[in-house]
A and B are shown apart, each in its own frame.
Chain A
Amino acid sequence: MRDIDVSQITQAVKKMCIDANYYLNDDIRKRLEESKSKETYETAKNILDVILKNADIARNEDRPICQDTGMAVVFVEIGQEVHIVGGSIEDAINEGVRQGYTEGYLRKSVVKDPLNRVNTGDNTPAVIYYFVVPGDKLKITVAPKGFGSENMSKIKMLKPADGVEGVKDFIIQTVKEAGPNPCPPTVIGVGIGGTFDRAALLAKKAIMRSTDVRNEDPYYANLEKELLDEINKLGVGPQGFGGRTTALAVNIETYPTHIAGLPVAVNINCHVTRHAEAIL
């Protein structure tokens, strides 16, 4: 067994909350630059330029890229040979979020109760998922999730007979209906299979994957490319003012499912798709 003290976890989470919000990931920057060079429509080109400029200012001046610094989504992969010491891992993660959002001048966007909406004041609690994996390492991914795009996400229980065409239609329709609301160009996370809940989790996992990485199954890697092409024919464009660049990437994750079902979840992320990783 390898001991990991909770204080290390708090420190790592705190740093990731701040870094993810100040420094746009390199893959997203690359996608934005590529998209700008492919745009033939002046308005779209100009908006992509403003988005890139904004990311530069945020990085150079240590400021949040977007004012919606998100609800902290945290994926924890715990090696089964890891022993957490010094306290509760859940408390340690939330303490990291609390410190990161306070000391990093990030917005506190979490309300304690969905109906009796009082702000918790420190952006806690995070939405945390734990996965037990082989090994003696602890991998933490922090993805601050903005709700302009989260609110445009959808899930549907398709019929097996709907097949791949049904899946494609649902994804494209979801992006089309979202229009300008999720701050395009977006990253589209798709979860296919599993159960109702698992499909949504897969979609979240998909938007946390780098846009440099395609699905390892060539069938799904092709589907990702095909969907991105189709989405970028819609004409929504950056901010919905028209243009080629409606999405920067489509990431798909899948899981085995029941003979009677075909769950599909679409989780949309904005052009400020954020995630930071640490391995302890």
Chain B
Amino acid sequence: MEKIVKTPLNDKDVLGLRAGDSVLLTGYIYTARDAAHKRLVDLLDKGEKLPFDVKGQVIYYVGPTPAKPGDPIGSAGPTSSYRMDPYAPRLLDIGLKGMIGKGLRNEEVINSIKKNCAVYFASIGGAAALTAKCVKSAELIAYEDLGSEAVRKLYVENLPLIVVIDSKGNNFYKEGQEKYLKSLNK
């Protein structure tokens, strides 16, 4: 059974999520990849304001394909999250509550997730045509020059996600694989 989650997120929402949970996410989320993260963190270094307030928000690591006429967005699956690891703790420290991507995170990010009561979700990598169907609107917020890597504000409805790292630091990549291997010995 999927848990229904609505953005923005608060501590209570996040504490209700456990690694391995299937989630349907509805609400506004923001897109950002490597290049946008670098610019966001450069702004923080200079003490300047970000193009959007990250407090309580969720960032989706995605660089979509161009939208066909009449569509809000093109194919929009997750990119590998580890490339955002050098930047993620900075954003978590100022209130970012959720990240959506795919793949492993480093210890620093996991510690920051625990410290800041945040959550890391995975969307299914490569299932990009399917994922795009959950995106109802997309608005360019910043860094238009980055093309696909620009920051967009998306409205998503029932976006299917899996909780990979919860606020206690439980990791579903580890737990899922262990559970599978155990199931073989039964």
For residue A145, CB closer than 8 A to chain B, the reply is: no
Known: A109-B148, A239-B102, A241-B172. A44 touches B180 (CB 8 A): yes
Choose among A106, A108, A180 the residue with the greatest number of B CB atoms under 10 Å from its CB.
A180
B140 within 8 A of A: no
CA distance A47 to B130 in the complex (A): 12
Which residues of B are in contact with A by a Cβ distance under 8 Å? 35, 62-68, 74-77, 79-80, 82, 102-104, 122, 124-130, 132-133, 146-149, 160, 162, 172-173, 176-181, 183
Say whether A243 contacts B74, CB under 8 Å: no
How would you classify the secondary structure of chain B's contact residues: helix, strand, loop or mixed? Answer: mixed
Q: How far is the CA of A243 from the CA of B183 in the complex (A)?
A: 10
Question: Counting CB contacts under 8 A, is A173 at the interface?
Answer: no
The listed residue with most B CB atoms (<10 A of its CB), out of A54, A58, A236, is A54
Q: How far is the CA of A207 from the CA of B52 in the complex (A)?
A: 42
Asked if B130 and A53 make an inter-chain contact with CB atoms under 8 angstroms apart, the answer reads yes
A43 to B148, CA, bound (A): 31
B38 to A, closest residue via Cβ: A117
A49 to chain B, nearest CB (A): 10
- A residues sitting closer than 8 Å to B (CB atoms) are 40-41, 43-44, 47, 50-51, 53-54, 57-58, 61, 63-69, 105-109, 117, 119, 121, 148, 151, 179-181, 183, 235-237, 239-244, 270-272
Q: A118 — nearest CB in chain B belongs to which residue?
A: B145
CB of B38, distance to nearest CB on chain A (Å)? 10
Do the beta carbons of B75 and A67 come within 8 Å of each other? yes
**In the complex, are the beta carbons of B63 and A107 less than 8 A apart?**
yes
Q: Is the CB of A121 within 8 A of B128?
A: no
Which of A53, A61, A67, A121 counts the most B-chain CB atoms under 10 A from its CB? A67
Determine the chain A residues whose CB is within 8 A of the CB of B172 once the complex forms.
241
> B180, A243: Cβ atoms under 8 Å?
yes
In the complex, what residues of A have CB within 8 A of residue B80's CB? 148, 151, 181
Q: How far is the CA of A63 from the CA of B135 in the complex (A)?
A: 15
User: Contact check: which of A57, A242, A244 meets B179 at CB < 8 Å?
Assistant: A242
Are B183 and A41 in contact, CB atoms less than 8 angstroms apart? yes
Contact B65 A107 (CB under 8 A): yes
Once the chains are docked, how many angstroms separate the CA of A63 from the CA of B70? 13
Known contacts A107-B64, A241-B177, then 17 further A-B pairs from the complex at CB < 8 Å, ordered by chain A residue: A50-B124, A54-B126, A54-B129, A65-B129, A66-B128, A67-B62, A68-B77, A119-B147, A151-B80, A180-B125, A181-B102, A240-B176, A240-B177, A241-B173, A241-B176, A242-B177, A242-B179
